Amino acid sequence: MYSQSSKYYDLIYGYKNYQAETEYLLEIIRPHISSQGKRLLDVACGTGRHIEYLKQYFEVEGLDINEEILAFARRRNPEIRFHLGDMTNFSLDGSFDVVTCLFSSIGYVKTLENLHRAIQCMARHVQPGGLLIIEPWFTPENWHADTVHSMFIDEPDLKLARINTSKAEGRLSYFDLHHLVGTPQDTEYFVERHEMGLFETQEMDDALVQAGLQVSYDPRGLTERGLFIGRKDQK
């Protein structure tokens, strides 16, 4: 995923207001957290755009499965420690007061079994009194299959068109992102497939509870997709 489009990632998602999302996240964290530390782990951190703002308030680390994407995160945040790893199976030193998994990245686990593995893995890294905050992907009923989507970038030295048709097979959503990219050097075309699991709200809730967390749900969230807040009890 993003193996070819990683260098265009920040332009493609340039519409996202990472600063405003971080400010909203802070409003969620403050009334729920009861641990005393300032450590935060951003799982599936991408190019480190949230970390760019989170590091003003926390001692931040990032984790992502994609080395090409992490290269951009490291350049943007050279003072931050980044880890290459899979959200379903990673082990880092120590624990964190807040663990986040944002921009619906949890959908990439694809299956309910992997959802539980990922949430249990992330929960193990949460301090007592700390939080696990997850921004979900679409539920089965909110995923609109057989719809077409497009986005375009028109800059003097870059023309980019990305078009896809949303599909579903059972509880798996998938879409082939067709990219046509023109620069002064060349014009290229490539396709990247993304497959993401469609989980019910109750399934997300159950996975957090089974990981030993007390769960609350914010229906608005950062991007109108909701936000799950799991708090680990103090020992």
For residue 115, name the pLDDT band (cuts at 50, 70, 90): very high
For residue 117, name the pLDDT band (cuts at 50, 70, 90): very high
- Over the Cα atoms of the chain, what is R_g? 18
pLDDT average, residue stretch 50-65: 98
Give yes or no for residue 214 having a pLDDT over 90: yes
Q: In the predicted model, what is the mean pLDDT of the chain?
A: 97
List pLDDT tens digits, range 23-42: 999 999 999 999 999 999 99
List pLDDT tens digits, range 219-231: 999 999 999 999 9
For the chain, domains (ranges, CATH) are: 6-139+199-232 (3.40.50.150), 140-197 (2.20.130.10)
